[in-house]
Amino acid sequence: MKKMNLIGQRFTRLLVIGEEPSDARGNSRWLCECNCGNHVIVTGVRLRHGVTKSCGCLRRDLMKERSRTNPVFRRYTGDVSNFSDEHGILYSSLKKSVRNKTGHLGVSYDKHSDTWFARLMRHNRYVLLKSFPTMEEAIAAREEAERTYLGRTTAQSSHESDNRKTD
Ligand SMILES: [Zn+2]
């Protein structure tokens, strides 16, 4: 097979500037100068098929570009402290959803009416469903209802299924 002379030809970022001895399998090899100034030796096959287009800087630039434009990619390649901050927020919001804002069963804040609701359900019926201007009053009402209807407070009987149903 007649060997092509690639000297002077450009393949994307690579300009062929010299011929190198063929490799062990007889593939022609060429000395190329990259746009960035690096010199690399590439086989003619890889040049003609577009397998090798630069000294390696093209791939690096593409990675950089992707990390700049793709937010997901950036999240995992970005500053480690950013990631842990974000993770921390996610984790804490998950934890918060386990219980309501007050941390008290049966007491919740309603932001539309700006009031606190105290609830207690007994046998699938509300025995307490009332709003209060402050969290303390709502908690007090809930605790009083617990004493009245359950005979004990949530803290002492958190295993009781009736309590769980209320929240
Ligand atoms: Zn380069």
Tens of pLDDT, residues 108-156: 888 888 888 888 888 888 888 899 999 889 989 988 888 888 776 555 4
- Mean local confidence (pLDDT), 30-45: 96
Looking at per-residue confidence, does 159 or 51 come out higher? 51
Distance CA 8, CA 10 (A): 7
When mean pLDDT is compared across 17-21, 52-56, 124-128, the lowest value belongs to: 124-128
Q: What is the pLDDT of residue 71?
A: 66
Give, for 138, the enclosing helix (H) or strand (E): helix 135-145
Distance CA 99, CA 151 (A): 23
Please give the structure tokens belonging to residue 68: 């700049």
The type of residue at 127 is V
Is 162 a residue whose pLDDT tops 60?
no
Residues linked to residue 132 through DSSP beta bridges, in sequence order: 116
Q: What is the pLDDT of residue 126?
A: 85
CA of 78 to the centre of ligand 1 (A): 24
Please give the structure tokens belonging to residue 45: 């096959």
Q: What is the pLDDT of residue 3?
A: 66
CA of 43 to the centre of ligand 1 (A): 16
Q: What is the pLDDT of residues 62-106, one digit of tens each?
A: 888 888 877 666 555 544 443 433 333 333 333 333 445 555 678
Is 20 a residue whose pLDDT tops 50?
yes
The type of residue at 29 is R
Please give the structure tokens belonging to residue 96: 């918060």
CA of 123 to the centre of ligand 1 (A): 75
